[in-house]
Homo-oligomer: A and B are copies of this chain.
């Protein structure tokens, strides 16, 4: 397979894997991601959870935050994200919120699980009822719940996202 010509998608994807490998060498987690718009690279990132003490600092989240900063827009329309591994639920959610058009990945969540990561576990938790999940989860009723949505719907100068 190394001898055949790679497509553009495969070349960018290979770069995300290189970022992941380099990141392990510098003490970080084995994940890389990058974002491309109109054929141009607009952000690259590798997992920085332990270095930054930030559980949200996955490669995809960091690449999205950087791309949005570079474009000055919270929407990344027309963008493709390349990720060395299938995004975890947090990162996949971020990809949807960013309005990214296309996602390409190499390894999958089963590969990540074999390496000791909980991505697949989290996906399985999503399929459980609230009361069956490993995190105690309570849907409580309180006074004034939902008033924030009324305020939002009533607001005339809101910026919808």
Contact = CB atoms under 8 A, between A and B. Distances in A.
Interface of A: 1-2, 6, 9-10, 13-14, 17-18, 20-21, 23-25, 27, 29-32, 49-50, 52-58, 61, 64-65, 68-69, 71-76, 84, 86, 88-108, 111-112, 114-116, 118, 121-123, 125-126, 135-149, 151-153, 155, 157-161
Per DSSP, chain A at the interface is mixed
Contact of A149 (B64, B71, B100, B115): B115
A157 B27 contact: yes
Listed residue (A99, A101, A148) with the most chain B CB atoms within 10 angstroms of its CB: A148
A32 B148 CA distance: 9
A98 B61 CA distance: 15
B97 A56 contact: yes
Contact of A17 (B18, B106, B144): B144
Given A50-B159, A91-B93, A107 B137 contact: no
